[in-house]
């Protein structure tokens, strides 16, 4: 049971729909988009909504028992600082549970656009926001102060009729809950028609399915990190083991002979 929880980058409050009063007694939702909070879905949990930047959380140290964040941290400018902010507002023995888009997200779209721009315009600029690599995530969490880390990754593929439907979906209905356009300042504002047609052809040629559709991949990183407390389990001292890993090779032989 978590008396007080924080949802960082809550958007319209989708995570709150999956929490119960028996688990979370009170929830604070934080998002930098005021309109998203104004149109938040009602929840059975008592909720407070705060407009704030994830990199500058307006809460005292050691405030929350639980912090969650779902598919919003890829928008953050300074991810290490956001992790430090989350760690700071957690109570000792508090836990952070998060999910964010990873480095292979929309790689088909990115590659197709880059190849088309190189061919038609002699260079390219990013049209999809950059993503963090999974190899860096554990290090960033550890550097922020979290321990007993768990990091996992998953991939979801969604099939579309073609590139234009992928982009329409990302810029249309998903912009409200996913926002998978581009927040880079140095991007090109527009793509030429010929470049778009070339990208669509490349997308189909390189990644197309047998039924004529094209896949769009979303890679998701899941993470759990705890704030240190003296009651937490600690690793044994180096050299204190009583069994060698080399002895594991003998297990199969012992089982065959019926010995314990």
Q: What is the CATH number of the domain that holds 2?
A: 3.40.50.150
Stretch among 37-41, 42-46, 217-221, 229-233 having the lowest mean pLDDT:
229-233
- pLDDT at 175 (0 to 100): 41
Give domain status of residue 28, yes or no: yes
- pLDDT at 9 (0 to 100): 94
Contact predicate 134/103, CB 8 Å: yes
Say what angle helices 107-121 and 193-207 make with each other, to 10 degrees: 130
- pLDDT at 178 (0 to 100): 42
Average pLDDT over residues 226-254: 80
Question: pLDDT tens digits for 96-117?
Answer: 999 999 988 999 998 998 898 8
- pLDDT at 129 (0 to 100): 64
Nearest to 183, CA basis, from 107, 75, 32, 101? 75
Residue 214 has phi, psi (to 5 degrees) of -125, 145
Average pLDDT over residues 64-71: 96
Q: Which domain holds residue 56?
A: 1-101
Q: What average pLDDT does the chain have? A: 86
Q: What are the E-state strand segments in the chain?
A: 5-8, 27-31, 47-51, 64-70, 90-101, 147-160, 214-226
User: Number of structural domains, the chain?
Assistant: 1
Give domain status of residue 249, yes or no: no
Residue with more model confidence, 195 or 64: 64
- pLDDT at 188 (0 to 100): 54
Give domain status of residue 126, yes or no: no
- pLDDT at 174 (0 to 100): 43
Token readout for 16 is 């709150």
Stretch among 98-102, 185-189, 210-214 having the lowest mean pLDDT:
185-189
- CB environment 243-254: b (16+ within 10 A), e (fewer): eeeeeeeeeeee
Give domain status of residue 177, yes or no: no
Give domain status of residue 42, yes or no: yes
Give domain status of residue 107, yes or no: no
Give domain status of residue 127, yes or no: no
Residue 89 has phi, psi (to 5 degrees) of -80, -10
- The answer on pLDDT for 127 being more than 70 is no
């Amino acid at each position: 049971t978590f008396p007080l929880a924080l949802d960082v980058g809550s958007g319209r409050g989708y995570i709150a729909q999956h929490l119960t009063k028996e688990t979370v007694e009170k929830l604070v939702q934080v998002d930098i988009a005021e309109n998203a909070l104004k149109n938040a879905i009602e929840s059975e949990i008592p909720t407070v909504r705060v407009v704030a930047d994830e990199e500058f959380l307006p809460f005292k140290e050691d405030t929350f028992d639980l912090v969650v964040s779902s598919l919003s941290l890829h928008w953050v400018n300074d991810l290490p600082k956001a992790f430090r902010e989350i760690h700071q507002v957690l109570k000792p023995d508090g836990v952070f549970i998060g999910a964010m888009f990873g480095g292979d997200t929309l790689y088909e779209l990115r590659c197709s656009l880059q190849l088309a721009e190189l061919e038609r315009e002699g260079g390219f600029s990013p049209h999809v926001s950059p993503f963090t690599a999974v190899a860096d995530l554990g290090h960033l969490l550890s550097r922020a102060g979290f321990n007993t880390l768990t990091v996992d990754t998953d991939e979801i593929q969604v099939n579309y009729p073609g590139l234009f439907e992928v982009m329409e979906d990302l810029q249309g209905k998903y912009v409200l809950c996913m926002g998978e356009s581009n927040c880079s300042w140095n991007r090109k504002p527009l793509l030429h028609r010929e470049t778009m047609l070339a990208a669509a052809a490349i997308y189909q040629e390189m990644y197309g399915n047998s039924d004529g559709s094209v896949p769009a991949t979303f890679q998701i990183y899941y993470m759990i990190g705890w704030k240190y407390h003296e009651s937490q389990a600690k690793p044994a001292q180096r050299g204190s083991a009583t069994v060698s890993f080399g002895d594991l090779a003998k297990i199969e032989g012992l089982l065959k002979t019926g010995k314990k």
